[in-house]
Amino acid sequence: MRKEERYKGVLNWFNEHVPVAETELHYDNPYQLLIAVILSAQCTDKRVNMITPALFRDFPTPEVMAASTSEVIFEYIRSVSYPNNKSKHLVGMAKMLMSDFDGVVPSDIDELQKLPGVGRKTNVIASVVYNKPAMAVDTHVFRVANRIGLTNNSKTPLETEKELVKHIPEEQIPIAHHWLILHGRYTCIARKPKCEECGLKPWCKYFLSPKKT
């Protein structure tokens, strides 16, 4: 199967069967999403959503968080993965927002990547808040893209990102990011993908491989 045919089949299926796909992180504004994205690194959205209400309540603006300390923030986020690093990143992020961006979360991807603790996950902010054609590649997207055959056994998230952006129409990239994440989270799971209930079987390299027959 040619790659173009695989992409067309996968995207058409998602478009028909999953017309609405959104982040499962809870937030009300770009600043809150930025906090949630930093916390979500190697951590489930469910866990992040459990701890952010208190954090959003007590640190409602970058100015308030910038005036705090990593030790204080740690007590709010101690149940997530790597709380020591993330508490430092959150305070650093808030201070940089105040000093460099007048307290406003920038929409430019290069500017977003300057913020502590964000890295390539800034693509989530650009895609979700500003609807830019940015493809954030987490473990789900990386696994699903390789398994289906959208990428040629890419070795890094950046390789996967470049391949996906190259083949997915620009206007579909924001929602395609969520399609792949949600598919990996609930159907194409890591240990044992639920192939029997997956609608992508006709285009899936893994399902169609000789090992599966």
Length, in residues, of the chain: 213
Query: Does the active-site annotation cover 138?
Result: yes
Q: Which has the closest alpha carbon to 105: 85, 86, 130? A: 130
Q: d(Cα 103, Cα 61) in Å, to the nearest integer?
A: 8
Which of 121, 132, 162, 192 is flagged as catalytic? 121
Query: Does the active-site annotation cover 58?
Result: no
Q: d(Cα 51, Cα 36) in Å, to the nearest integer?
A: 9
Q: Which has the closest alpha carbon to 3: 134, 113, 135, 154? A: 154
Q: d(Cα 65, Cα 184) in Å, to the nearest integer?
A: 34
Q: What is the DSSP string of 117-158?
A: TTGGGHHHHHHHTT--S-----HHHHHHHHHHTSSSS-SSHH
Instruction: Estimate to the nearest angstrom the gap between the alpha carbon of 211 and the chain centroid.
Output: 31
Which of 138, 192, 201, 205 is flagged as catalytic? 138
133: left (phi over 0), alpha (psi -120 to 50) or beta: beta
Task: Provide the annotated active-site residues.
Answer: 121, 138
